[in-house]
Structure 1
Amino acid sequence: MMETEFTKRRRTKQKHPIRNTILAVIGLVVIATAAFLYINHEGYAAKNPNDMSLTEVMVSSSDSVAQVGKKLQSKGLIRNGRYLSRYAKRYGAKSITAGTYLFSPVQSIDNVYQELAQGPSEEPVLDSAYTYIDGNKTDEQTAQTLADAANVSKSGLLSAYTDKDLMKEMKQKYPKLFLNAKSGLTLYDLVMPGIYKIKDEKSAKDLVRDLIKRTDKEMQGYYSELKENGLPVSTAVLLAENGGKKEFNRRLAFIKKIASYAQDLKSQYGILPSISIAQAIHESNWDDSDLSSKYNNFYGVKTDDTTAGKSVVLQTQEVENGQTVTKNARFAVYDSYKDSMKAHAKTLVQGNTWNSNQFKDVLAATNYKDAAQALYDDSYATDPNYPAAIIRIIENWNLAKYDK
């Protein structure tokens, strides 16, 4: 029987089970592979490209990449710590340098790994879409970076920071930003340090307007406390990349904790409370050092007393011949912070065993600036920058109000 055209077409349309099964399996593999790559791509990408907050992360010398990954995941900085381990395994795990790092949810796993590989630095590793403003740098030091990011001139940006008309405009628009402002304030002093996604601007002034707008937005939760305590906004701005509101509250609580007793000591020994408080802050790093938090020694007081429980040997840094050196030293241990503050006041009044008038200039000073300089002149401190550091703390936190 001759095969018709119709039967030919039917036969060609018949199914081929084995071939179709193979094609189906291949299709599933392709889909699964694509899904796997997509999931992994998502895992390696930034957790939140719009969350430009910064978080300090302490990394110890004993931490493995996996342990660091868990820390970052627990702080909400990356999606899953396993992705960091996989990345390190793929590209060859490098040794991690111990220290304090700044990380952000805008960082990809690649950014995080690069930062860990290079060690702690002043700036987090970021993709080109982001710009970092370091609060420890001057307007001149950051000007070129910001100018390039916004496509404006560097000289125009520097001029905008001190432009009188722009300053007046910003005061009218954001009056709370200028509450308790220190003399000589520039608009750069009100620029929040941190990560920015800067777009092209028409002018340098427009860039500054955007920077100040962000500061006002982030300062909303601070304004009432700043007003209540007579503090300038610039004080809170400085903490933006060092703990933010939580650290601001902790520092303010520390001041309030010791201020009343510092005033009591003034009536007994004549020491300006602003000096007592500022030295306690500076020497103890806001009660964040082992010497203060564990041993109630706020002022780095040394001793020769080897009686058990009366002293402890710790490392300290001192300036010798213009160089900072690390040494082991024996420090006094106190039962309470009040004992430490009282011992400090007595030392200033009574001097040392070899010179009872050692700190006569500190005692004679009637204002915090003269007293701060006298601390160096009378050899309380060996660092020539010590007076400036004490004065800066007093002015940033309005400690002079406790002298009245």
Structure 2
Amino acid sequence: MEFEKRRRSSSDKKKRSIWKRLLGLVLLILIGAAVALYLNHRGYEAKNPNDTTVTMVTIKSSDSAKEIGQQLEKKGIIRGANYFANYTKKYGAKSLVAGTYPLSPVQDISQIYQELTEGAGAEPVLSDGYTFISNNKTADQTASTIADAAGVSKSALLSAYSDSALQAKAKMLYPQLFLNAKSNLTLYDLVYPGIYKFKKAKSADDLVLTLLKHTNQTLKPYYAQLQQNKMPASTAILLAENGGKTEFDRRLAFIKKIASYSQDLQSQYGILPSISIAQAIHESNWDDSALSSKYNNYYGVKTDDTTAGKSVVLQTQEVVNGQTVTKNARFAVYDSYKDSMKAHAKTLVNGNSWNANQFADVLAAKNYQDAAQALSTDGYATDPNYPKLIIQIIQNWNLSQYDK
């Protein structure tokens, strides 16, 4: 009898032990499922609510949702490509529109998806508390948004941007921001574009100084190069939404690459180096066009030569009767960028077959302003804004330094 009791007791203990293990296993499974559910949900949230860095991301019409997600993950904007792919699968990949977008780790997957459905020119879709400042907008266009976010009046903020006393104070605090600055500079010109999380400001003046403090901190990696090349801080600021420091370095390297040869051409043909460089920049989009990067044609030179290896047919945009139209045209192919630059110089000097003095005004110009205007007057470009664009490039990058 005693033995039977001990046997039943031992059996009960084993059963209880089995049940405990089963309950423990179930509990672990439930905890694991809860953790997995949490992590999965977290994957759709903003990667870093404190990282307001803005990265420009280009989406092509041929990109799949998976490829877009991989790009976003690689650029550090989202936690994982699969989260974007899954979200897009649920809400529709066909809604995504090709274009270039400013995106940030402060955005969650739903906000990024919404932005990518709005098309080119879309601004970041943000949660409450975040404010986006774009360098494509004027001070007046952004004043209401910034003022409301920081708790100041719009009129006070606009007045602060142009206040001479505040500018003097800012110049003392952040002198490098004002090196080589244009005479008509306003403090808004020194506001670095991006996403901000504003606190309530004491005053409009205090808000502007806070904005400039951020710009000064952001531009520290640029200052040595800006000072060396006597360029204004605004040159770096203009690239905030177009590649930042990486793009700044690439563009500066392109200038350095062709500057010396442009001076050689000046001694041979009399073309101002600033004009040669600025036109190469504008026509080749900083050596980022297929025509320049693949065929060494920096100036969009057309040709009738159909000899193999001497030309290529590509699409181009031209202004006809005030309208921009897309056409197919045959362009010259060069063995090197120097050949392209020399051909450009010869064209300006020798003119066309029907008018040897076609570009006489460009050659006669003593400064880049007159030369840029003459490019339009003499019929080099069909775009009426061409001289203004060339002058802006020269001034922003201080290309006139190569004319001396």
Alignment TM-score, normalising by the size of structure 1:
0.92
* Whole-Å separation in 1 of the counterparts to 2:106 and 2:328: 41
CA apart distance, 1:142: 1.4
SS in 2 for 1:165: helix
Check the 8 A contact 1:66/1:84 in 2, yes or no. yes
Letter in 2 for 1:126: L
Q: Do residues 55 (structure 1) and 67 (structure 2) align?
A: no
CA apart distance, 1:28: 5.2
Q: Do residues 225 (structure 1) and 225 (structure 2) align?
A: yes
Worse overlay, 195-204 or 360-369:
195-204
Q: Give the match for residue 376 of structure 1.
A: 376
Deviations 1:173-196 (A, max 9, x none): 111111111111111111111111
Q: Give the match for residue 130 of structure 2.
A: 130
1:1-400 equivalences in 2 (<5 Å):
30-400=30-400
Worse overlay, 134-143 or 33-42:
33-42
CA apart distance, 1:77: 1.4
Check the 8 A contact 1:296/1:336 in 2, yes or no. yes
Which of structure 1's runs of 4+ aligned residues deviate more than 4 A? Answer: 16-30
SS in 2 for 1:118: coil
Check the 8 A contact 2:298/2:337 in 1, yes or no. yes
CA apart distance, 1:70: 1.1
Worse overlay, 122-131 or 88-97:
88-97
Deviations 1:92-134 (A, max 9, x none): 4433222222221111111111122223324222222211111
Check the 8 A contact 2:115/2:122 in 1, yes or no. no
Worse overlay, 368-377 or 135-144:
135-144
CA apart distance, 1:158: 0.9
CA apart distance, 1:403: 0.8
SS in 1 for 2:117: helix
Letter in 2 for 1:139: A
Check the 8 A contact 1:44/1:83 in 2, yes or no. yes
Check the 8 A contact 2:280/2:299 in 1, yes or no. yes
CA apart distance, 1:148: 1.9
Worse overlay, 127-136 or 228-237:
127-136
* Whole-Å separation in 1 of the counterparts to 2:22 and 2:204: 63
* Whole-Å separation in 1 of the counterparts to 2:36 and 2:342: 65
* Whole-Å separation in 1 of the counterparts to 2:171 and 2:118: 42
Worse overlay, 16-25 or 319-328:
16-25
Deviations 1:121-171 (A, max 9, x none): 242222222111111211122112211221211111111111111101100
SS in 2 for 1:343: helix
Q: Give the match for residue 4 of structure 2.
A: none
* Whole-Å separation in 1 of the counterparts to 2:297 and 2:273: 17
CA apart distance, 1:29: 5.8
Letter in 2 for 1:288: D
Deviations 1:28-87 (A, max 9, x none): 565344323321222111111222222222222221111211111122211111111221
Alignment TM-score, normalising by the size of structure 2:
0.92
Letter in 2 for 1:257: K
* Whole-Å separation in 2 of the counterparts to 1:340 and 1:128: 52
Closer, same or farther in 2 for the Cα pair 1:267/1:93, shift >3 Å? closer
CA apart distance, 1:236: 0.8
CA apart distance, 1:257: 0.8
Worse overlay, 30-39 or 378-387:
30-39
Q: Give the match for residue 10 of structure 1.
A: none
What is the CA RMSD across the aligned residues, in angstroms? 2.0
SS in 2 for 1:167: helix
Check the 8 A contact 1:301/1:331 in 2, yes or no. yes
SS in 1 for 2:182: coil
Structure 1: runs of 5+ lacking an equivalent: 1-13
Give the percent of matched residue pairs that are identical in Structure 1 and Structure 2. 68
Letter in 2 for 1:279: Q
Check the 8 A contact 2:115/2:123 in 1, yes or no. no
Q: Give the match for residue 4 of structure 1.
A: none
Closer, same or farther in 2 for the Cα pair 1:279/1:92, shift >3 Å? closer
* Whole-Å separation in 1 of the counterparts to 2:91 and 2:55: 25
Structure 2: runs of 5+ lacking an equivalent: 1-12
* Whole-Å separation in 2 of the counterparts to 1:192 and 1:234: 9
SS in 1 for 2:375: helix
Letter in 2 for 1:265: L
CA apart distance, 1:217: 0.3
